[in-house]
Amino acid sequence: MKMKTEKLTVFAPATIANLSCGFDVLGLALDGIGDILHLELTPEPGVSITRVTGADIPLETDRNVAGIAGMAFLEAATGYSGGVRIEIEKRIAPGSGIGSSAASSAGTVWGLNQLLGEPFGLPDLVGFAMKGEALASGAAHADNVAPALYGGITLVRSSHPLDIARVHCPEALHACILHPQIELKTSDARKVLRTSIPLSKGIRQWGNVGGLVTGLFTEDFGLISRSLEDCIIEPVRSLLIPGFDTLREAALAAGALGFGISGSGPSVYALTHGADTAEAVSRALGKAYDAIDIPYTLHHGPVNRRGIYSINPNT
């Protein structure tokens, strides 16, 4: 296996899974917010996580999503007998609902792939990163790792077998995130879901998924806006997020195309047409949450269109 370099630093973006109607299938990558991973090949086999800053996360390989994803990669990379040393700057708060574990898992396998001369394609990398996701959320989902790796907007048509497609992402599409500083674990957020749904709501949901995908391909922002609706998961899960309805009202009043829960929460997201509206919506979300006695962080920016990338490829 050809080694391009022995060290690499990568930026792995935060992601919004679901996009309201597309529960468990749609996802979008964010620009300007993500984890930074420093990787260095080692002669010793295995994954060694030497340092994590920004979050209180175990360094043990088998208790760290990056460790598990990295091990899955190395086991498949039969031409390479060495290992990797990783330092992680967690800039995405764990448990925030914007793909914190996915960014570290995906960043690790993407970085390793670069260091070893790209032996694997993106679908393979998604598969390795999903092993990390299984540790984080109790299920091997691809709806955060797929957009992190592919960039833009992705559709996971099927997880088993894995079938991922890129959905066109209009350049004007921007995203806002408000992260209320409360704890809400993915595994807990899944527990509140009912295991069966009315057929009529299912029809409404897949009509919206079809509408959202059509709107994205045709850059019809009206259709995108009308399709950003979740009649199944959100009515239950939003009860776990203080101030959800107030935030929605504020986002829509400020011109958001749509508003909903990012992944399994507690972060909420809004999509907008253009940067100015994103800024206005972000301000409106902050103002609405100032009235509620919960600390929060805000982010807004364009969609990340290239996925994970190397920050200093030549060092």
Query: Of 2-10, 73-81, 122-130, 193-201, which part binds its own copies (CB under 8 A)?
Result: 193-201
Determine if 205 is a binding residue for its own copies (CB under 8 A). Answer: yes
β 258-261/46-53 pair status: unpaired
Which of 78, 195, 314, 315 is in the footprint of its own copies by CB under 8 A? 195
Q: Are 300 and 262 in contact (CB under 8 A)?
A: no
Q: Are 256 and 281 in contact (CB under 8 A)?
A: yes
Name the minimum Å distance from CB 165 to its own copies: 5
Which of 9, 89, 108, 133 is catalytic? The answer is: 133
Nearer of residues 1 and 193 to its own copies, judged by Cβ? 193
Q: Which two tokens stand for residue 274?
A: 């253009």
Determine if 223 is a binding residue for its own copies (CB under 8 A). Answer: yes
Positions 8 through 67 that interact with its own copies (CB under 8 A): 21-26
| CA 108 distance to own-chain centroid | 15
Say which residue the tokens 């039969």 belong to: 78
Say which residue the tokens 């935060």 belong to: 14
Q: Which two tokens stand for residue 182?
A: 């409360």
- Can you state the angle between helices 100-115 and 122-137, rounded to 10 degrees? 140
Query: Of 124-132, 173-181, 206-214, 280-288, which part binds its own copies (CB under 8 A)?
Result: 206-214
Name the minimum Å distance from CB 123 to its own copies: 13
Positions 111 through 170 that interact with its own copies (CB under 8 A): 155-158, 163, 165-168
222 class by beta-carbon count within 10 Å (0-12 exposed, 13-18 middle, 19+ buried): exposed
- Active-site annotation holds for 87: no
Residues that bind its own copies (CB under 8 A): 21-26, 155-158, 163, 165-168, 193-200, 202-215, 217-218, 220, 223, 226-227, 232
